[in-house]
Structure formats: structure tokens, C-alpha cells
Structure 1
């Protein structure tokens, strides 16, 4: 089997069905092997958006793959790969490189720095990947590919594979290829049963003896593959539970013991004070970044906490190195006969989803305001939706969304690269379609909330969406620039302005056929409550079919109250 065929077959084994990237002279021959391996070429407008899309695909599908060319291509994607590393998204970055003979000769080749150093870019990637390999030795190609792909899945982070042009079509002896089904195997450290059982006993005793326990579910639950166990513990224990911004949608917001989002002292001081009086706080998979913790105000002292990480649990400050997924399964079994009797305070419960007339009447000519817009958006969501929120006013406003059952939210709480979510939405929508094609998932809608400034950063992704005929709803908050930056500094400074665009003309510019009934284009603009309510009630919008763009005009100074309080 040829090297490229083996690599792509391995990706297919893991669930990859679409390959993101751009073509270039150092990867063209490799792309000829895609179709036979069962992979679809996506074809992105640029490498940065391809990387963003791969990140979004990986968060939904469990793994993603991206291919670029050496030097100019891989450096254009490096920001996206760094974001995937920071936020634990499994992306395989394949880089087509010059032939091994040219590299060893130190020739002055295009896309290089001209100094004969062909390791400089690979060395950069060692800082933002968990495994990397150069497929330059045919005797180790198969084992190297398997080693790196295992690391990507097990650690849910990016990996880096160099594929020299002269290695693409070289053949791997059949005996070197591992049989299907052996690629994914547990990498958890083995522990004696007595040790695991003793830790379970300690945790159970702490939980059952607590008078005021509280659970906080955070953003790395999916990356650690413990979402099922955490949801089961929340449901069966009846312990009052909240999520952080990064953890939103990790648990059902319809459960009776699930409380509103934990925004810390800055975002919700009264609710924060309530949580601080709990005698036991149980953290699942914390991401303790400044933004996710509202200035570190949701981190509590060790003496009152049990913290579950990926391969360790910390109980009141004492760390036990252990495989947490297995530990949680045993904890569930041991607590099957116990249910917390603590009643959730009414002030903590999730708010009701408003109907449109509660916010504003459908005939209202009043301007749209952030204070009510996000509550209104809650009633538009339906089970199965995937909601993506761009960093800034969109992500902070979306904290107030009340999510129906089985709605998944994709957000950024650490890397915060402006423009990321448009590309990620393309990848997410493609992952949903691939899952449906495999008969694994249902055809839910992909809904993106993004600001005008963010959209301008990565607008070419709209071309990728149209090219792949993806179903998507894009809600653009047009508030005349970088509103979140205005609230940090420079409310009326020129550097926080952006050039006004005619956003709803983008589909036409990017080549959409506006008269094609098989891929409908729906365009709406709202400057008043009446406009936006009518847009949300439009059957074409409700269906989520084709490309739907809704431009929502708001004042440049307006922002969610949480954002204002945070930056005060």
C-alpha cells in the first residue's frame, strides 16, 4: 500500500470523511489518493479558514484532518492549530514537503527561507502539537502514522505529519500495516483495583456527608471523553449543578437540578455568593482561563473542592493519579442508592424561555437591544441544533441562552482568535452532514452568532460554505465595529471601527445561485424588534436549509450587561 493511501485509510478508520486544506505543488500527488480512501476533498479558500474548519469538524466528529503545503501554507494555518491545541480539539495536520533528497542537499527551494534549513517550520509546530513525525523512512512509516494518530485521539489535541513528495507513492510492505481495529486502544495507566476502589470510597464519603454540595461542569468534559459519565452523575445525584461558559451545553439545561451559568463575582455577584457558601464544590474538567472564570472569580479554595482532571483527581488539595473515566464509572455504581436532598434555590434556576411577545411585540418599531435579544434567541433554538458563538458580544450574550435538550454549543474560552467561528461553523456543518451520511446522527441545524468585525476576519469561509452546499444560519450582529474592544478601551476610538460592508450581498459575490431551489439562499435584515421577530418566524429560517443570513443592527455602544460588568 502506498504511503498516502495508508495515511488516508487510517484517517478513515478513525471516522474522518472530509479533508480540509488547499492544494499546492508539494501535496498535489497525495490528493490523488483521497477518493479511493473514502475521503472527500473540501477545498478551502485559504489555509487559516481550513484550520478553523478542521477544528470545528474535530469538535463534532472526534477527529479532523487538514493538509497544507510546506512553509507558506502551514504558517498560514499555524494560528488555527495553536487554537486547537489550547482548546483541546483533535486535528491531524498533514504538510506536503519537498523531497527528502532536495532537503538533504540543502537546496534553495521555493516556500523555504532560502537558507537550506528545512526543519525550521516543523520545529515551530513542536510547540503546538502533542506528536509529530516526518515520513522519510519507509521502514517506519506505518508505525509512525499509527503512533501519531493515537496521540491525536488520546490527548484530543493536534498532531503534525510531514509527507515528502518522494514518499507519497512509495509502498509499505503489507506486514508493516496493523490490522483494522487495533489503532484505538486505551492509553490509561493501569492501577490496582484496590487503589481505584479506595479513591471511590473517599469521594463517596465526601459527597454524601456534605450538607450543601454543588457541581460545576467545565469545558474539557468532551475532550476527556467523560460527558456521558458526568451527565449520569448530575442526573442520578440530584446535586445542584452549573456550568461555566466553556461548559455550557455539556449537560442538559432541562434537568430540574441544573442552575444558570456560573458567571463569578463580576457577572452575577448574588449567585456567586450563594455558590461560595457551599461546603463542597465538585469540578469536572476545569478550564481555568481568565475569561472562562470571569477574572478567576469562579476558582475556589482546595479545602472545599473535588476536582476531576483527565488523569487525576484532587480531593481537598490531595492529588491521586488515576484514570478518571474508569473512576467515574465506579463512582456511579457506588452512588446508585443515594440521592442528594438539597433543594435548588429558586434564584439559581434556569430562566424560562420567553415567547416573542414577552420581549417585544412583532409589530414593534423599537431598536433591537442586547439586553433582550439573547433571551429572544432562546425560543428560536430546537433540539439537535449546533450553536456556535464568536468571541466578543456574541459569546457573552449567548451565556443567557436557555438551551433545549440535545443542543450543542461550540465556543472559545481561551484562544479567542477573532473570526474563528465562521470557519469552525463550516467544519461543524460538514461534520454533521458526514454523521448523517454514516447513519450515526440526526440532521440538526448549524447556527452561528458572529459580529461584523469578526466576520470580516474570515469572510472567505462563506465561499467554502457555498462550495460545499452546507446548511447554515449565520446571524450577524452589525454594531459598527469591535464593540467588546470599545468596552475594554476606546469607546469612540477610530481603531475600533471597521469598514461598513453590505453583508447580505456576500452570497452573490461568492458565487451562490440565488435562484437555485435545491440550495436556497435566504437573506433577512433587522433594525427593529418587529423585523427580527418576523425573520425568526420565517419558515425558511426555521427550516435551516441552505444558507440563511440574518443581519441584526444594534448600536455600537450596546453590549450585554455581563460584558459591561466584567470590564468594569
Structure 2
């Protein structure tokens, strides 16, 4: 008997929402309790399969939910209380919007009567207007609703479908009295599905694509993060398997196509592209197919792309463009399938993929007992990084070091280069560790970690075992590279990082070490791989002004 077969005829609104979250891949619910969401939580947690993940604050909950959804599980969710809670989370939801991540923000609200009467309540602005924060969330979500008992189930389904369709965050405000209100369970027996592509538009796109590709001898694709958001990596890999196809990825989609794949060109970032051969292969291609790309500043080397954008084929989440013609209601996963079919019928010249330059694979000539440098750190990480892990790199030094790693088979890189909210990745490690059986490996700077360090407590108390490499360079080196390296605001207060796990999770064994040389780091990483039953924290001490090559290049561009 399935869960749907065992459904009662009537459920509460909170239960209805819980059943839908399980269906769309989000059984873990992040967040914090508050007086306005307690009834909702009590109702949701009666549903078998729902698991509460209490966080240390609402911002961290939003970061964790974002990363949970990025693993491909589906729509992630977090529950906060009205006003003070939801406003703490809004930065994380904005990041999910910028980076196309389907997260459901659930706000427990005062009663419908209080809202209707404009009662002056705590957690409000005491002006009788209960929609201030709903309006704020409209700026960073694609759909939202404040539920009424009369149409709660219909509105829940509408909002969740919008997240499925757009791969963007959505919002539900649930008053206390509505959370426990009874609704029919009948709609739960019918699965929610994303809106399919328009058949006529898809056919028209197929014809236009076949026409523009006719006569091409090779096909060059620049793939972006939206391919991953639509769970279409397998289709992209099928396209890449055709002789004559070459695929570069954006930094936010690094390793989406395995970097050992014969068709892989590596990462493309305009003038910041690590490999000159990769940049030339994309910029000089007679026709570029942009699959799920985002042409933002960092991802294009500050708008330095030189390929013909107007003449390109562009495959978006819900549209496809061939030259000047846009085809609406064409889903990215479907346009990629059409691309695969069209390329199958072409006679292409087998492409010679330029040999990739992986700087961290070059052996360092610095002594192993000398003070640790960025070059030594990333060279050692490159040699050690295992297959089938999730690598996570925070915005800053960590990201720009990790971008030049060659990811081993089955190891992805999770980063947030568009929103670039420092500190995102430590709570994100909680999300990935819950969503995937693969072990997470986090690279984060000390400045970033100080923003969200308390979520390490949740990671440890839940018995999760990530490896954390904390780059201690006494502050914000990415900002030092850009401007005013000696300014007082570039530093952070020193912490005893290796003592932190014991303070946050007394009695829970954690492997900790401080490394100051490459030899130290080598031993610590070997120990980390062996400690599969414990979390690992490696504090790597580096000079404040030392920066990976790619970060130094960014500084020279931005700093003029």
C-alpha cells in the first residue's frame, strides 16, 4: 500500500502541505519554531516521512534549504515565524532567486482574525498592516499566497507548481487558525507536475534549430547552471557524446559535464577563463549554443565574452531563442532533447578538444616544510580530492582556488558565484549532507565562516561527517585583492577554530588539526579520508595577502 492509498479523506492544511513536500522531494524541513508557527509544525510533523531540521537561525536555514534543493532532491522548504523570522531568512531566499533554486519559504502568521482586524501584535510594525513582509517577499519569489481555509489546498498546489515550473523560490503565509483547518485529501491522490512544453512551439523550435545547424561542421555549447536546476545533466552528456560536439561550462556549472569527458572544454569566464584554448574555442566558434547560461559579471569575466550573442542559440528555462526568434513555453530539458535529436542527424567533423591546463596538477617546487601557500594548498588538494564527493567553495579565496581544480569523476562543485553571499556554504554543507549520501568537502575562509559558524553545531549534533578545510588568512583576502589591502575593515577577530567543535558539540568526536606547511596538510587530508565516521575540521594558516592565480586576475581587472 502506498502513502497515497493510505490517505484519510480529510487532512489539516499543515498535513496537506507536508504530504506535498514529500512528493516534490523535500521531506526535510528546515527552520526555527516561533509562536505563530507552532500549530503548523505540530500538524506537519504528524505526517510520516517529514523530518524537522532545527537550525541555529533563519538565515542559516535558508542557506541549508537552498543547498538541499541544489542536490537535485526537489523543492526544499523552511519554516519561520512571522516578521522577525522571515526577514532573517530573506537574504537566503534572494540568493535562491538569483541562482534559480526552488525553495519554499513558509511563514507561520498571526490568526486570520488578527490580520482582518489589524490587531497591534508583537513581531509586527504595529500599524495594523500584516502584508508588509508578504510584499517584500514578492520581490524575491515567483509566486506566493497567504492561505485561507476555503482554498488552501488549491493555493498550495499553485505555488508549488510555480516553483517546479520556474526553478525559483516561492512563499506561503499560513495563519495559525488556517494551519489546523480541515481540507479534502482528494487532490493529494494526483501528482503535481511541471507545466509541459507547448507542442507547437517545440516543433517550430526544432525546425529553426535544424536550419541554423545545417552545414555546421562542429557544435560548441556553453552550458550554465540552469541545466543542473532542470536536472538535465544527463541530456547534456548525451549531446556531448556526439563526435564534433564540444562543451564548456560556466563557473557556476563547473563539473556538471565531467571534466574528464572527451568533449569537455573546461570552465569559460571570458577574459578570466583559466585556459586560453578554452576561451578561443568558445569566442571563435561560428555558432555558440547557450544552454541554461547566466551572463552575469563574474561568470563572463565582467562582460568580456567575445562570441556572437545575437546570433547564438539560447536555451532558457522556459524559452528557446534561435537568432532573433524566441519560442515561448519551451522547457530547457525539452530543448536539450531536441538538440540531441538534431545533432544526431548531422554529419560533424570530430572535434579536437584543446588540452586543458590544470595549474594545481603542476608539482610545487616549494619545500614541504615551508610556510603553507595558496599554491601548495590547492596542489595538495588536487592530488587528494576523492571521487564521488560534493566539493563546496565559499565566495572568495576558496571559490577562486577551487575553480582551477580538475574535479574527479562523480565529484561536483557547489558554489554561489552570482549572489556571492559570504558564509553561505557552511549551512549549505548541512543541506548537502542531508540530501546526499556523498560526503561533503567544504572550503571556506575564516571571515566567511564567522558569519554562520554556529550551524556547525547542527551538523555535528545530527551525526553528519563532512570535511571542512578552513582557510585562515586573518580576514577578507578577496576584498584585499580588490582594494585597500591594509584597511582596518579587512581583518576579522581571531578565533580558536579547532576548539570550536568541542564548544558547539560537547562529547561528539571530531577530527581537528592546524596545518601550517604542505606536509602538515598532506597528513591532515589523509587522516580526513580515513575518518569516515567523524566530521573533520582542518584549519589551514596562510598569509593574508596570498591569493590563488584566478583571484589575483580578478583583482587586476576590478582594481584597474
CA RMSD of aligned residues (A): 2.1
Whether contact under 8 Å (1:211, 1:279) holds in the other structure is: no
* SS at 1:400 equivalent: coil
Contact 2:316 2:331 in 1 (8 A): no
Partner residue in 2 for 1:188 = 197
CA distance in structure 2 between the partners assigned to 1:109 and 1:477 by the alignment:
45
1:396 deviation in Å?
Answer: 1.0
Distance of 2:150 and 2:484 partners within structure 1: 59
Unaligned ranges ≥5, structure 1: 433-442, 515-519
Are residues 1:223 and 2:229 paired? yes
Residue 352 (structure 1) shift: 8.7
Aligned counterpart, 1:16: 26
Q: Where do residues 114-263 of structure 1 align in structure 2 (5 Å cutoff)?
A: 114-136=126-148, 138-174=149-185, 177-191=186-200, 194-205=203-214, 209-211=215-217, 213-263=219-269
Partner residue of 2:522 out of 533, 542, 558: 533
TM-superposed deviation, 1:238: 4.1
Q: What is the CA–CA distance in structure 2 between the aligned matches of 1:543 and 1:191, rounded to whole Å?
A: 55
* 1:268-326 deviation digits (Å, cap 9, x = unpaired): 48333454222222221111111111111135223552221122222234333333422
> How big is each residue's C-alpha offset from its partner over 1:247-279, in whole Å with a ceiling of 9 and x where there is no partner?
102111111221232232245483334542222
Aligned residues: 542
Q: Secondary structure at the match of 2:200?
A: coil
Determine the C-alpha separation between the residues in 2 that align with 1:264 and 1:374. Answer: 23
Of residues 330, 336, 339 in structure 1, which corresponds to 2:338?
330
- Tell me the CA shift for residue 15 of structure 1: 1.7
Q: CA deviation at 1:33?
A: 2.5
Is the 2:292–2:315 contact (alpha carbons within 8 Å) kept by the matching residues of 1? yes
Match of 2:552 in 1: 564
| Deviation string, structure 1 residues 409-436 (Cα, Å, up to 9, x no partner) | 211121111111111111111111xxxx
Question: Deviation at 1:543?
Answer: 4.5
1:509 maps to which residue?
503
* 2:364 paired with 1:375: no
Contact 2:390–2:438 (8 Å) recurs in 1: yes
CA distance in 2 between counterparts of 1:422 and 1:507 reads: 13
Q: 1:472 to 1:188 in 2, by over 3 A?
A: same
The answer to whether the Cα contact below 8 Å between 2:274 and 2:404 also exists between their aligned partners in 1 is: no
Distance 1:477 1:366 in 2: 17
Q: Distance in 2 between matches of 1:247 and 1:255?
A: 15
Closer, same or farther: CA 108–368 of 1 in aligned 2, 3 Å: same
Relative distance call for 1:118 and 1:284 in structure 2 (3 A) is same
Q: CA deviation at 1:494?
A: 0.8
Q: Residue 414 of structure 2 is aligned with which of 410, 415, 436?
A: 410
Give the whole-Å Cα distance in 2 for the aligned partners of 1:231 and 1:482.
38
- Cα deviation for residue 220 of structure 1 reads 1.5
What TM-score, normalized by structure 2, do the two folds share?
A: 0.92
CA shift digits 1:510-542 (9 cap, x unpaired): 02314xxxxx4111211001100111122x434
Equivalent-residue separation in structure 2 for 1:140 and 1:134 (angstroms): 10
Q: Deviation string for 1:204-237 (max 9, x for gaps)?
A: 41xxx33564221112211233322111111224
Cα distance in 2 for partners of 1:192, 1:52 equals: 36
Partner of 1:265: 271
1:203 Cα offset (Å)? 4.3
Partner residue, 2:485: 491
Question: Aligned residue for 1:36?
Answer: 46
Structure 2 gaps of 5+ residues are 1-10
TM-score by length of structure 1 reads: 0.91
* Alignment equivalent of 1:425, drawn from 403, 417, 429: 429
Deviation of 1:408 after TM superposition, in Å, equals 1.8
Mean Cα deviation higher: 550-559 or 228-237: 228-237
- Give the conservation status (yes or no) of the 8 Å contact 1:522–1:541: no
1:564 is displaced (CA, Å) by 1.2
2: distance between equivalents of 1:76 and 1:351? 40
SS of 1:191's partner is helix
CA distance in 2, matches of 1:113, 1:48: 21
Q: Identify if the C-alpha distance between structure 1 residues 194 and 258 changes in structure 2 by more than 3 Å, giving closer, same or farther.
A: closer
Secondary structure at the aligned position of 2:387 is classed as coil
| Structure 1 residues 425 and 544: alpha-carbon distance in aligned structure 2, compared to 1, 3 A threshold | same
Which region of structure 1 is more displaced relative to structure 2, 366-375 or 187-196?
187-196
